[in-house]
Amino acid sequence: MSFLSFERLGIHLGGREILSPTSFEVARGEFVCIIGPSGCGKTTLLRAAAGLVQPSTGAVMRHGLKVTKPSREVAFVFQDYTRALLPWRTVEGNVMLALEAAQMPVQERAPRVQQVLETVNLQAHRHKYPVQLSGGMQQRLQIARCLAQSPDVLMMDEPFGALDAMTREALQDELSRLVREQGLTVLFVTHDLEEAIYLGDRVIALRTNPTPQLPSVAAMINVPIEQPRDHLSVKEHPEFLRLRRELYHYLGHG
């Protein structure tokens, strides 16, 4: 049984087909990146996988059960971290929110908050408010809040798109480390080919305006570059360069 399965998932919104019937499977612990031009349905697919959007046809299955609503087993990381965080709560208070929602016993909350903040290197900033943090730190805080709920899967919607290049690379490495250490399964939406290849075990490319002859999925490509990865050597790796050319071809002509 697959950990996560998309079974002819189709989505229509406003009389338009956003996703044609799409099928693929995600293994436990796999990092899958989803790329494609604007309007191709990347975010819609991610939201359907999280139970935030209901399919028009087909289904998303997790643990062999149909996904019909949000679950605490799934954590969703948004691109706009400024809206995702509560400005009137401290770093500690924002992480605590996930534990309150899960109704964790009060005496267990503080140790869990400490553990998660240490995991993302924010323990020294626990009493600060979001406005006092840099963009990269705010996004790490949103990831920390997600980790606090001990999810099986992270759904991430262009989480680093609004950050500068250096901060983005640092967070990519931090995320990759967390995923390996905690055995997380990740669905990661991005418009950045290099980010998708650097992070992903597999990259799925979607096309706009799908038809029965040209379905939503343009390509599914494995990334056979050994983990852990580092930016300097990986981006000079022949396989990285080959995959970048191949994915650009699919997106440019799919």
DSSP β-ladder status, 16-26 and 57-62: unpaired
- C-alpha pair distances (Å), 122 with each of 95, 109, 127, 152: 11, 17, 10, 22
pLDDT tens for the chain, 254 residues long, are: 679 999 999 999 888 888 999 999 999 999 999 998 888 899 999 999 999 999 999 999 999 999 999 998 999 998 888 889 999 999 999 999 999 988 999 999 999 999 999 999 999 999 999 999 999 999 999 999 999 989 999 999 999 988 899 999 999 999 999 999 989 999 999 989 999 999 999 999 998 877 777 788 989 999 999 999 999 999 999 999 999 999 987 765 44
**φ/ψ bin of 89: left (φ > 0), alpha (ψ from -120 to 50), beta (otherwise):** beta
Q: Which residue has the tokens 């050597």?
A: 233
- Residue 52 tokens read as 């935030």
Structure letter (DSSP) for residue 226:
P
Confidence (pTM): 0.92
The whole-angstrom separation of Cα 63 and Cα 206 is: 25
The whole-angstrom separation of Cα 187 and Cα 91 is: 25
DSSP β-ladder status, 57-62 and 153-157: unpaired
CA 182 from centroid of its chain's CA atoms: 15
Structure letter (DSSP) for residue 130:
G
Residue ranges and CATH numbers for the domains of the chain are 4-73+152-253 (3.40.50.300), 80-150 (no CATH)
> How wide is the angle at C-alpha 186 spanned by C-alphas 183 and 188, nearest 5°?
155
- Residue 78 tokens read as 């948004």
Q: What is the pLDDT of residue 29?
A: 95
Q: What is the pLDDT of residue 15?
A: 82
Q: What is the pLDDT of residue 82?
A: 84
End-to-end Cα spacing for the chain? 31
Q: What is the pLDDT of residue 1?
A: 60
- Residue 100 tokens read as 């309150």
- C-alpha pair distances (Å), 165 with each of 67, 73, 237: 35, 31, 20
Asked whether the beta carbons of 34 and 45 are under 8 A apart, the reply is yes
Q: Which residue has the tokens 């055995």?
A: 183
Q: What is the pLDDT of residue 252?
A: 57
* Residues whose CB is less than 8 angstroms from the CB of residue 191 and which lie 6 or more positions away in sequence, other chains included: 35, 36, 37, 38, 158, 161
